[in-house]
Chains A and B, each alone.
Chain A
Amino acid sequence: MTVVDGALASGPPRRVWRNRLFQGAMLLCMLVAFGTLAVLLVDTLVTGWPALSSQLLTGLPSTLPEEAGARPAILATLYLGALVLLFSVPIGVLTAVYLEEYANRERWWNRAIEVNIQNLAAVPAIVYGILGLAFIVRGIGVGRVVLAGGLILTLVVLPTVVVSSREAIRAVPDSIRQGAFALGATKWQVVWRQVLPAAIPGIATGSILALSRAVGETAPLIMVGAITYVAFNPTLFGAYTALPVQIYNWTRQPDVDFQTLAAAGAIVLLVIVLTMNAVAIFLRNRYRKQW
């Protein structure tokens, strides 16, 4: 009995404490990240709740905070999202198919395309905005229209779509390709009828995540001239503002009521973005295949 007591009194050896301390520190890192996220969500919700009304969703912008709404901005954001989906998914998936199934990696230009896409993924979004300003808005003369914004956002998220599509295609086992080839299928038949259908869940997940990023992107849209005050519904070739830009503009107003509006706008944006993320995560878990 005394021996056991003595052993308990001396406690676990130092290395056990060191390990616990270390594990605690790692957990703390986790908690700081998630705690900040929780505080952000709660703070936005509490601040913006009073201004979250049907007026915000259906009203037009105004210089008076109590009359201001964000319908044109919300609609334009939906248009931009549709354009991004329309352009980035086909181009991104075809690029991924090229790199995974067709490109001969011995060739220098194929390696260059790969490094180029990796770099593009890390180019600051505002640099794409400069590209849009110089080429699409001023250069080709499309002007500050929804289409220009959609094109620029497409370029911003294209690398993300390519990278996630490549991963999805790479996860399809070779035995499926071999089987199709053995039955006499051509390369494109193998890709189109076997590889791509098997990769669809992964491609869809990546595309939705890319889309959610595009919808929340602000800086490039400021550059290509999503303007502050738009009191009409957007059209493809018309002036526009987007929801994140609208939030930014409200944030800059000195009037505290506009700050509340900004928070309410942020709630709407967060709902859109987080819903997309939830769908993506659901798709990934639902269709996760074990080959």
Chain B
Amino acid sequence: MSADVTVARPAVVALPRKRIRWGEQFVHLILFIAAAISVLTTVGIVLSLLLPALEFFREVSPLDFFTGTTWAPLFLDAQFGVLPLVVGTLMISFWSALVAFPLGLGVAIYLSEYAAPRATAFLKPILEILAAIPTVVLGYFALTFVTPFLRDQVGVQVEIFNALSASLVLGIMLIPTIATLSEDAMAAVPRDLRDGGYALGADKLQVSTRIVVPAAISGIIAAFVLGFSRAVGETMIVLIAAGQLAQITFDPRETVETITAFIGATGNGDVPTGSIEYKTIFAVGLTLFVMTLVMNLISIRLVRKYREVYE
């Protein structure tokens, strides 16, 4: 050991480990167990979905399930084509994304580039309040306010239960998620980049759209992907406002059923264990879980990417 190493890390040399502190070891174990609970949760989710779903696929061929275009699991002549549910889910997510992506990004740019600190301190809590509204209240609002509003004030001929109202409200619900995550990514863009832009004579619009947004793009896309995943997994708004008619349609004025709405409507605790209806919940739930899992992992990876670049 040379002298300069001793100077750099004196503690290691000065305090050789003599005894194991059992108390400290015990604490470490307890902490690890607490952290392991989250892993067990994931294992539990996967098992609880996979086992009944496998039983389901013993009775219904996966090919019929994933390619069938008729969803009528509770009929006497039961049909298990999941496509209507998937199409309904994706359509509602698409329209809500159309609302939430531009609005959320606009809010993020405003908060990050334009708003004065005092304005931010006032605006952010309001955004949090929007994020805190329970989804059952949002669903009620979509059904009893937005749908009549679309019919009477806007003049769009929508069904009582329709994808459009649900999508609009779902889109508003997603704004805080997308705005907060995008703003985090923009805040991580170093000031130097902005100053460089201004030094070259760029104005605020140019700095925002051509420097900050491109520099934060992986974080912004992560926010979009996570927002879309939220839309796919949201239950109460679509269950209340979009209805329960499983059909393949691309017209948002019509009634549709999403994956989550089917699960929520069917799994109300009264379904007899072991019946085909009971197993259907898990097969459909597994489809939902895999869809959101893929999006979540993409989003997590993208966030890590921008963190690596700037932090």
Contacts and interface: CB of A to CB of B under 8 A. Distances in A.
Interface of A: 15, 18-19, 22-23, 25-30, 32-34, 36-37, 39-40, 43-44, 47, 90-91, 94-95, 97-99, 102-103, 112-113, 115-120, 122-131, 133-135, 137-139, 144, 155, 158-159, 162, 186-188, 209, 212-213, 215-219, 222-227, 244, 247-248, 251-252, 259, 262-263, 266, 269-270, 273-274, 277, 281
Contact of B282 (A122, A128, A134): A134
A216 to B, nearest CB: 3
B77 interface: no
Given A95-B35, A127-B288, A134-B282, A244 B296 contact: no
A139 B296 CA distance: 28
- Most chain B CB neighbours (cut-off 10 Å) among A30, A120, A162: A30
Interface stretch (B151-159, B188-196, B262-270): B262-270
Interface residues of B, number: 89
Given A15-B203, A40-B141, A122-B292, A30 B134 contact: no
A269 B138 CA distance: 12
B246 interface: no
A29 B128 contact: no
Contacts of B285: 126-127, 130
A124 B132 contact: no
A98 B27 CA distance: 10
A90 to B, nearest CB: 8
B42 A102 contact: no
Contacts of B123: 30
Contact of B103 (A29, A40, A115, A159): A29
Contacts, number: 270
B281 interface: yes
Contacts of B36: 113
Contacts of A224: 269
A82 B53 CA distance: 34
A131 B44 contact: yes
A247 B41 contact: no
Given A127-B288, A218-B236, A25 B264 contact: no
Given A47-B144, A124-B292, A126-B260, A33 B103 contact: yes
